[in-house]
C-alpha cells in the first residue's frame, strides 16, 4: 500500500531591505526601505540622531509609489531634520552641553594638557588642549571619562538601595538606546548622557539598575524606577525633547 505525501511549499524568504541615498535640501541621507507582509501603509521614520531614514512599505508596493511618497514628504523631512545638527560648534568659541549646562569651548593653544570644565569670569568654560583639528575627539574623551564617573557612582548607589549586585558597567556610543542591562547584571550606558542635566543622568542610572530586579517594562518596574528616581517623569520628558540632539553631535 502506498500513500502520496504532499510536500509543503517552501516559505519565501522576505525580500532584503533596499538601501539608497535620499537628498533632502542638499543633505544626503541613508535610507533603508523594508517590505513588510502586514504593512497596510507606508511609514517613514528618522533614526535616532537624525543620521538615517527607515521606511516600511506594504509588500510588492511599486517603486513609483515609494518615490511619490518621498517627494510628497520632502517638506516634512526638511522640517524634522532641521532640529538635528551634526555641527555642534566643536571648535574654539563654540558651545557644548556638560551636565545640562552650556559651556564655551576654549582651545588653550597648548599641545598637551587635560580637558577640564572651569568657571572664568563667572561663566562655564571647557578648556581643551591638543591640535585644533582634534578638539572634537578631546571633548568626547573628556565626556566619556566624566560619564563613567557619574554613572558608576549613581548605579552603585541605586544598586545598594535595592540590594542588587552589578557585575560590570561599561560606556558605549549607542544611538538606538541610552542604556541596557543584561540578565547577568552587566550594565551599559551611552556616555552622551553626561551632556544632560544631573537629574536625567540619575534617571538613566536608576532605570538600568531597576532592570536588575525587573527585566521588563511592566508596572512593577516603573514603580521601582520611580522609587529610585522620584523625578523620573521630568527626566523622561527631557530625554524625549532633547535626546536626539545629543545623539546627532559628530565628535570626529
pTM of the shown model: 0.73
pLDDT along the chain (252 residues), means of 10: 52 76 80 91 84 90 91 84 68 92 92 90 94 92 97 98 97 89 96 97 98 96 97 94 84 83
What local confidence, expressed as pLDDT, does residue 241 receive? 85
pLDDT of residue 27: 73
150 vs 205: CA distance, rounded Å: 9
Smallest Cα–Cα separation from 24: which of 39, 48, 44, 41? 44
pLDDT of 9: 57
- The confidence score (pLDDT) of residue 14 equals 64
In angstroms, rounded to a whole number, what is the distance separating the alpha carbons of residues 60 and 37? 9
Sheet architecture: strand order including 123-128: 95-98, 101-107, 123-128, 116-120
Query: So what's the pLDDT on residue 2?
Result: 46
Q: What is the pLDDT of residue 202?
A: 98
Cα distances from 207 to residues 94, 98, 189, 190, 229, in angstroms, run 32, 21, 11, 13, 8
Domain map (residue ranges) of the chain: 18-82, 94-247
Residue range 94-247 forms a domain whose CATH class is alpha beta
Amino acid at each position: 500500500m502506498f500513500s502520496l505525501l504532499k510536500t509543503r511549499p517552501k516559505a519565501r524568504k522576505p525580500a532584503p531591505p533596499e538601501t539608497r541615498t535620499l537628498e533632502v535640501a542638499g543633505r544626503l541621507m541613508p535610507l533603508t526601505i523594508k517590505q513588510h507582509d502586514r504593512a497596510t501603509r507606508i511609514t517613514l521614520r528618522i533614526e535616532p540622531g537624525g543620521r538615517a531614514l527607515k521606511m516600511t512599505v506594504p509588500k510588492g508596493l511599486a517603486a513609483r509609489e515609494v518615490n511619490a511618497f518621498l517627494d510628497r514628504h520632502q517638506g516634512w523631512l526638511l522640517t524634522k531634520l532641521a532640529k538635528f545638527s551634526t555641527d555642534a560648534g566643536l571648535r574654539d568659541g563654540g558651545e557644548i552641553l556638560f551636565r545640562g549646562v552650556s559651556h564655551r569651548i576654549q582651545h588653550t593653544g597648548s599641545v598637551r594638557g587635560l580637558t577640564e570644565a572651569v568657571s572664568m569670569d563667572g561663566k562655564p568654560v571647557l578648556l581643551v588642549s591638543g591640535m585644533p583639528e582634534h578638539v572634537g575627539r578631546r571633548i568626547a574623551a573628556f565626556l566619556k571619562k566624566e560619564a563613567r564617573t557619574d554613572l558608576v557612582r549613581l548605579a552603585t548607589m541605586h544598586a545598594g538601595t535595592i540590594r542588587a549586585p552589578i557585575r560590570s558597567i561599561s560606556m558605549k556610543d549607542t544611538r538606538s538606546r541610552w542604556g541596557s542591562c543584561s540578565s547577568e547584571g552587566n550594565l551599559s550606558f551611552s556616555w552622551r548622557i553626561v551632556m544632560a542635566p544631573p537629574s536625567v543622568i540619575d534617571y538613566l542610572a536608576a532605570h538600568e539598575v531597576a532592570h536588575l530586579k525587573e527585566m521588563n517594562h511592566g508596572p512593577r518596574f516603573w514603580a521601582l524606577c520611580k522609587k529610585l528616581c522620584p523625578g523620573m517623569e521630568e527626566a523622561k520628558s527631557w530625554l524625549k525633547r532633547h535626546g536626539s540632539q545629543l545623539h546627532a553631535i559628530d565628535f570626529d
